[in-house]
Amino acid sequence: MYKNLIDMFKENEGKGAAGAFNVHCFEMVPAMIKAAEELNVPIILQTSLGTAEYIGFAPLIAAVKALAEKSSVNVALHMDHCKDIEALKKAIDCGYSSVMYDGSALPIEENIANTKEVVGYAHAHGVSVEGEVGSIGGAEDGIVVDKDAAMYTRPEDALHFASETGADALAVSIGTTHGQYKSKAKINYELLEELKAKLGDTGLVLHGGTGVSDEDMKRCVREGMKKINVGTELNKSYIEVVAETFTAEGVTPLTSLRTLLGPANDRMKEIVTEKALLFKLD
């Protein structure tokens, strides 16, 4: 079924975290949902604004809704890391079930004011909202933040933000970085524990999931993370497999494009399966 994060978190309570996987092209989508179905876990498909514009809002949303309605698991379509309020309103109007306003680079009060505007508009349309306090840093899907600008989320800021905005989910900075796949993040668990205690029902979100070790990932889920993002590994792996299949011996202009893209889609299914298993509570 097609869900927002509010309903997805409620229905997945006690079962683990919902995996949020970045869609970079539409070909990835069916394979991602298939992986979730085989594990019987919910899945969040998320896009950047650039991807939504590349595929087209209407065809992307219509296709995801159609697949979700026939699926045996809950599926959300989430706009990730968007700084443009009008673009988020367009996503909501067109049918996204969830959106993220990223005002983490702004002064806290400006971030709160803008997020509150998005929350008011989204909730009136049955759409969930994720915000961000602190700066996760790095680069992913064309979204670049100076790694040196990354900073931990201050619990007092997170509590103030959550209480003022009414956001349903909050991305927090506890040591991860976008685009980090050559090394592993060092998670600040004391900070995570304090954030969980202060934020109550607000769903904690971990960005930069590619750079988190399997052991840390499982612990983050046990410690209360509700949504975990995976993006860089998907994009990197898709490119690597496509580069290999498109340059393989015997490929000609008459080779079926489906044949060439199939292995990359299969790899997406494998990654979603691997990660989603880590997000389940034992």
Report the distance separating Cα 44 and Cα 77, nearest Å.
Answer: 6
Three-class secondary structure of residue 39 per DSSP: helix
Distance of CA 73 to the CA centre of its chain: 17
Q: Which ranges constitute the DSSP H helices of 72-213?
A: 85-94, 108-123, 155-165, 189-199
Amino acid identity at 147: K
Q: Which letter does DSSP use for residue 211 in this model?
A: G
Report angle CA 199, 203, 207 to the nearest 5 degrees: 110
CB 161 within 8 A of CB 133: yes
Which run of H or E residues covers position 204?
Answer: strand 203-206
User: For this structure, is 148 an active site residue?
Assistant: no
In angstroms, the CA 137 to CA 145 distance is 5
How far is residue 249's CA from residue 251's CA, in Å, rounded to a whole number? 6
Residue 120 to residue 127: CA distance in whole angstroms: 10
State the catalytic residue, choosing from 80, 102, 141, 168: 80
For tokens 């975990």, name the residue: 228
As annotated, the active-site residues are: 80
